[in-house]
Amino acid sequence: MRLIQSGPRNTKIVIVGEAPGANEDTTGEPFIGGSGMVLNKMLESAGIPRSQCFITNICHVRPEKNDFS
């Protein structure tokens, strides 16, 4: 299992997603697809550098066909 997460572990801001998507599986970087673009805009508008956030997922493996059942 490959953990897809980034950022400092000793930060005050932790962002947790559901599971990696296709882009995350390919690159090993969390929140870089469409959700990542939205996240980046929200962080930017709040004046929070993404590099100051620890970003991870509850599930660290992308479910086959995104089936969580």
Q: What is the pLDDT of residues 2-24, one digit of tens each?
A: 778 999 999 999 999 988 888 88
Cβ contact 19:59 at 8 Å? yes
pTM for the full predicted model: 0.82
The dihedrals phi and psi of 62, each to the nearest 5 degrees, come to -70, 120
Structure tokens at 49: 């550098």
Find all residues with CB under 8 Å of 36, minimum gap 6, and list them: 23, 30
Q: Summarize pLDDT for 49-67 with one digit per residue, the tens.
A: 999 999 999 887 777 776 7
